[in-house]
């Protein structure tokens, strides 16, 4: 591809793409589509793709691969242990998410399983801005419960508030006092709060949550599956960051968390996930469960081809203008 640069009206370089892969779609007659919906009990998860024209079921695993990702997949180093593909991903995690210790897992919920297994006990309470289904399921499976602490504004559908994913700081302190810090294994912040329509939190809110976490000596866990979208909205909406880059905002956000996990199905490629931290003791606490549930520490249940695609895809977060 020749190195042609495009600029927007303010002379800011734009990254444009062209799509070169086509896939045949099926537009079956309306009678068959109605029949299929009926057969599936009007549950779209039960449809067969042969009956579906445009599949908008989920954002999960639907990313188109770039030419660079496909090229990297061809160079994957297939080894049970010590694969070069893993080291590329580890470097990408360190450069993009700013965390040097990395544990690969097969997808986001696998990270939630390992984190909950280690930290959540009977009677634990995990405060969070809002739940994601799989996060809540793992926390409750290990005997904990969750406390969802959004501001009331978040539930006002037509509100134009910029940061409806913000954690309600007053309620957070209240919940910590009621449950006592010893019963709170971590506070969970989810970037671009998925189940309320992808609403972001502000960096200032994350800083305030960090300060409360420090005050009560509680870990702060960031679900970064949708961090690109959250960082982009911070650039657009939080005045302090209007001249910052995606790389800077993402690093500022991840630096505030003790532990970051993600589903790569949304973040960077079409499969995979990971857990990362700069705290060796956290890494050590989680490490043993990766070979038990996922696979050896240098593949974690992900194919090496996918690991290559994840590494390239992570750098893609920097290119959003």
60 within 8 A of 266, measured Cβ to Cβ: yes
Q: In whole angstroms, how close is the CB of 217 to ligand PLP at the nearest point?
A: 26
Who contacts 215 (Cβ-Cβ below 8 Å, separation ≥6)?
none
Q: Which two tokens stand for residue 210?
A: 């960090």
- Applying CB under 6 A, which of residues 89, 93, 96, 109 lies at the interface with ligand PLP? 109
**Tokens 């309306």 label which residue?**
30
Q: What angle do CA 158, 161, 163 make, to 5 degrees?
A: 125
- Nearest residue (beta carbon) to ligand PLP: 108
Who contacts 180 (Cβ-Cβ below 8 Å, separation ≥6)?
none
- Applying CB under 6 A, which of residues 69, 83, 85, 107 lies at the interface with ligand PLP? 107
Window 47 to 106, contacts with ligand PLP (CB under 6 A)? 60
What is the DSSP annotation of 67-130?
HHHHHHHHT----SSS-HHHHHHHHHIIIII--SEEEEESSHHHHHHHHHHHH--TT-EEEESS
Q: In whole angstroms, how close is the CB of 257 to ligand PLP at the nearest point?
A: 14
Nearer to ligand PLP, 249 or 267 (CB): 267
Number of residues that bind ligand PLP (CB under 6 A): 15
- Applying CB under 6 A, which of residues 66, 117, 134, 162 lies at the interface with ligand PLP? 134
Count CA atoms closer than 13 A to 82's CA, side-chain side.
Answer: 0
Contacts with ligand PLP, 165-194, as mask; x by CB under 6 A: -------------------------x---x
Window 250 to 309, contacts with ligand PLP (CB under 6 A)? 263, 265-266, 273
Q: In whole angstroms, how close is the CB of 3 to ligand PLP at the nearest point?
A: 35
Q: Is residue 113 part of the contact set for ligand PLP (CB under 6 A)?
A: no
Q: How far apart are the first and last CA of the chain?
A: 20
98 within 8 A of 276, measured Cβ to Cβ: no
Would you tell me how many other CB atoms lie within 10 Å of the CB of residue 121?
A: 12
- Applying CB under 6 A, which of residues 128, 131, 218, 223 lies at the interface with ligand PLP? 223
Nearer to ligand PLP, 134 or 245 (CB): 134
Region near ligand PLP per CB under 6 A, out of 156-164, 220-228, 294-302, 303-311: 220-228
Q: Identify which of 93, 12, 62 has the alpha carbon closest to the alpha carbon of residue 320.
A: 12
- Applying CB under 6 A, which of residues 102, 132, 151, 163 lies at the interface with ligand PLP? 132
Q: In whole angstroms, how close is the CB of 10 to ligand PLP at the nearest point?
A: 32
Q: 210 to each of 5, 300, 310, how far by Cα in Å?
A: 40, 29, 28
Binding residues vs ligand PLP (CB under 6 A): 60, 107-109, 132, 134, 190, 194, 223, 225-226, 263, 265-266, 273
């Amino acid at each position: 591809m020749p190195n042609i640069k495009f600029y927007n009206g303010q002379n800011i370089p734009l990254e444009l793409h062209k799509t070169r892969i086509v896939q045949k779609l099926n537009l079956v007659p309306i009678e068959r589509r109605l029949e299929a919906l009926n057969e599936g009990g009007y549950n779209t998860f039960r449809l067969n793709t042969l009956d579906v024209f445009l599949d908008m079921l989920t954002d999960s695993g639907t990313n188109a691969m770039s030419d660079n990702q496909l090229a990297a997949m061809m160079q994957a180093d297939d080894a049970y242990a010590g694969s070069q593909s893993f080291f590329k991903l580890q470097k990408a995690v360190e450069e993009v998410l700013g965390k040097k210790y990395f544990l690969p897992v097969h997808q986001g919920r696998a990270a939630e399983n390992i984190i909950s297994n280690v930290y959540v006990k009977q009677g634990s309470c995990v405060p969070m801005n809002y739940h994601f289904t799989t996060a809540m399921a793992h926390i409750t499976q290990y005997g904990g419960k969750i406390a969802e602490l959004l501001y009331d504004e978040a539930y006002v559908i037509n509100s134009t508030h910029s940061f409806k994913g913000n954690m309600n700081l007053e309620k957070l302190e209240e919940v910590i006092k009621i449950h006592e810090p010893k019963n709170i294994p971590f506070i969970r912040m989810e970037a671009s709060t998925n189940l309320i329509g992808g609403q972001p939190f502000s960096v200032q809110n994350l800083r305030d949550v960090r300060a409360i976490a420090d005050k009560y000596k509680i870990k702060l866990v960031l679900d970064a599956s949708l961090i690109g979208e959250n960082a982009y909205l911070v650039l657009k909406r939080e005045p302090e960051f209007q001249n910052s880059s995606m790389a800077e905002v993402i690093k500022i956000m991840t630096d505030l968390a003790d532990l970051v996990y993600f589903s790569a199905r949304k973040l960077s490629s079409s499969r995979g996930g990971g857990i990362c931290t700069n705290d060796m003791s956290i890494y050590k606490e989680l490490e043993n469960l990766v070979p038990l549930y996922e696979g050896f520490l240098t593949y974690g249940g992900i194919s090496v081809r996918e690991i290559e695609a994840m590494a390239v895809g992570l750098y893609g977060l920097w290119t959003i203008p």
